[in-house]
Each structure stands twice: as C-alpha cells, then as structure tokens.
Amino acid sequence: MKSQNVPISICFLASIISFHGYSTLAAEHVSRKFSIKINPECETILGSDCSTNSTLNLVHIRSDGPHDTLHFLWSFLGSPSLLLARTPLQSNLSVDWISIFEDAGGAISFEPAPYYVFGWSLVKVWVYNDQNDTARLDKADQSEVEDYDAKNFLWSRVDNSSILNSTMVRMSFEARAYDHKEGEAFGAQQMGPHGFFKITIRMKSTEDYSTVLPYMMYNENSTQVDIAFNDVQLNTTAEEYPNHPRIAFKYIMVQDNGNRNAEAGKMHLDVTKTLDDEHSPGVFEVYSVNTPAKGSDQSYMQWKPICYTAEVRDVIDSVDVVAYSLQNASSVLHEDNVQDSILWSYFGAEIDNVTLQAMNISFGTVGDGFYNKTKHISWTYSTGFGVPPPDRVSLLVMLVVSIGLGIPVLIIVLSVIYMLMCRVRRPRDDLLLGQ
C-alpha cells in the first residue's frame, strides 16, 4: 500500500511548485568561477595601486563559465549601480577613469562587444510625510515629499566583512554622510549620530538560499542585495523632518539586446502566488521585474514584499514593501537621474535607444508607527541573468506532506478492502444460516 501513496504525494508537491509559477524541472546549472578586481585600471590616473582606496568603489566581478562570461560591474561612483553583461569568454573590460569623473558616455566598454547588457541604478531616496497613514507614496501630498539624490551619499567599502574567492563573494558598502551641496565646502553632513545606509552584495557559484530572512533563493547567475537604512536623518534641521515619515526608493533599469535598431520592448512587473511559505513565514507572493526575452537572454530583479524594522531580522518586525507600476524613463528628464551612474558611463546618449524604465519602491504598513518608530529598514532582493530561480521544497516538507497524505490514503484503501471483504463474506454466512 505504501508504494501507492508516494506518487500521490509527489503529484501534490508538483502542483504546489507549478502553482508557484515555475516549471518543476530545474534549469541546467553551469559551473562558474569568480575573479574580482577593485577599481580596475585606476592606476592610469592615480599612478599607484588604488584597490585599497575604500572611498573609490568600482568593483568588477568576472564570472567565467564553459561557454561565456558574466560581468557584474558594481559602482558606488555616483548612484549605487549594477551593470551586468554577458560576453564571449575572451572579452575584457576597459575603463576610462578620466571620462568617468567627467560624466562622459562611453567610459566603460567591453572587447569583444557583449551579447547582452542589463543594469539598474538606485537614483533617489524619498522621505515623505504619510499624514493619512496610507503607507503609499502615490497617495502622499507631493508638497510633503522630499527627494534626495543617491549620488550624494558618501560611500565607503567595509573591507573587514568582505569574502572574495572563486566560489563566494560578499562585500559591504556604507554611507554615513550625505553631501547636501554636491561637493561644495562643508556640504557633507553626518546622517545622525547612529545613521547609516548600507548595501551588502552576496554571490555564490552554486544555487542556494540566503542565510537571512526572507531567505531569498539565488544562483550562480545572480547576486543578492541586502539594504539597511538605519536611523538616517537627511534633513538639515529637526524642524524640517516630517511628523509621519516613510521611506521610498527610485530605481532606473536598462536592457540592451545588442540590436538598437530593433523594437526595444518593455519590462514588466510580475506577481507570483505561492502556497509554500516554508522559507518566509506568512509570505505567499513573490515580485519580480522581468526584462523582455531576447533569444535566450533575459534579466530580472526579484523580491518578496516584506522588509524588517530591526537590524536583527525577525518575522514579528516585518512590514510591507510596496512596488509601483513601471514608467518610461529618459536621459533628458532631470528627475530620472540617468546621468548619475555607470549606466550612463556605458551607454552614453545611446541609453535612450534601448529599454529604459523606472520603478518606485516604498516601505511600511498601515498602523506600523511610521519610520520614526524603529528608524530602521532592512530589505533584500536578488538580481541577475536569466529567469529568477524557483523555490525548492525541502526534504522535510516532502516527508511531512507524504506522511500527511499517505496515512489518510492508507486508511481509505484499508477501509475499502475491509468493506469488500465484508460483502464477500456476507453471502457465505447467509448460505450457512439457510442450511
């Protein structure tokens, strides 16, 4: 009887995974090897090894596979940004540092040219007054929304937490000051006595779950981004700080399929339902921005709609993450801040000839006490090449489901057998009584 129960349980598990929106067949995984270089080719302008300069941060993570190379180019020069390129194995990165400092296009290039390029940039931080406690940026009084350019945060690399080897990468970047006057004397100010804005990137050469809530899955083609926004005071005076503050971010995303004369297509924001909350208790949705597929090339940003209001993450300290509709972006619109990142350094004016869109993200739940209550937000998302990796059902869950379904099925089958045996025996007993 037991052999009949297992297929039924497996079918139920397959329906759960299918409902999650992904195929039950795992994608073929390619073994990759990482190599990291900090501030590549910067010796041409500084005349010395500048990889130890913690305030100059352009990090090139090269991920070599058997057939191609993925380049993860992280920049904290201007707005925090990621440029992801898939290239032939022989391709190399070239950086013109003088052009980068002059905000000129074409400062970053690959030779031979990439098959595919995707990138995003965190360009704005909003502090808005949620007077009516709606927990939505689009319902706030726009006169009470203060925007801060992300390029003006003064970032430093936190080397004592770094892990850099061929199979694992972990790096943290932290800002504790904001330049309100963009480079003028005495323009930079501390963001409060305990204020910091921290971004941590994590990569592994194998598919795995994160070790922190909400335990996002990532693989060898992607990276995980952890953001901590702690006790940040961006207003110059206490009187300017809103009474009911909430925090929001603005991202610019770009995709180039290598054929800029073709129809660019649009990115789309998808919401996937799931029945499985094993790794993120109480969360049954996954959000992702997916780029239009160009042959076998595609990219994404993925997150669960939850963030945490304490540095040590716990389910009881969670609030919502709200994503808003994607919008078209342009380099000619000042509010899009396209020219404040390495996206501009790579594309230059050609950026308007590829897919370029913007997305807003806000944090908070109605009745949570606003940002003032804990003065902390921790949020995680993954981003990379291809399609988002699906959640895996653990062996423990498979056993629990198998046992949970197997026992009732066993009882039903035994009951049916017992009833059939009773029917077979009843005519025989009636015959004996008749004699």
CA-to-CA distance for 80 and 395, rounded, in angstroms?
A: 39
What is the token pair recorded at 45? 């302008």
Residue 244 Cα to chain centre, angstroms: 27
Residue 321 Cα to chain centre, angstroms: 12
- pLDDT, residue 26, reads 38
Tell me the β-bridge partners of 178. 153, 189
Cβ-proximal residues to 379 (8 Å cutoff; 6+ apart), any chain? 226, 227, 303, 307, 308, 321, 363
- pLDDT, residue 403, reads 72
- pLDDT, residue 79, reads 96
CA-to-CA distance for 123 and 301, rounded, in angstroms?
A: 16
- pLDDT, residue 57, reads 94
CA-to-CA distance for 21 and 16, rounded, in angstroms?
A: 9
What number of other Cβ atoms are within 10 A of residue 302's Cβ? 23
CA-to-CA distance for 101 and 344, rounded, in angstroms?
A: 12
Dihedral (Cα; 371, 363, 219, 117), 10-degree rounding: -120
Cis peptide before 66 (omega within 30 of 0): no
The low-confidence residues of the chain, meaning pLDDT below 70, are 1-30, 183-186, 236-239, 258-264, 275-283, 391-402, 425-435
Burial class (CB in 10 A: 0-12, 13-18, 19+), 303: buried
CA-to-CA distance for 228 and 231, rounded, in angstroms?
A: 10
Which residue from 407, 202, 385 is spatially nearest to 300, judged by alpha carbons? 385
- pLDDT, residue 37, reads 94
CA-to-CA distance for 59 and 338, rounded, in angstroms?
A: 20
CA-to-CA distance for 377 and 18, rounded, in angstroms?
A: 32
Give the angle subtended at the CA of 53 by the CAs of 51 and 54, to the nearest 5°.
110
What is the token pair recorded at 429? 């007993």
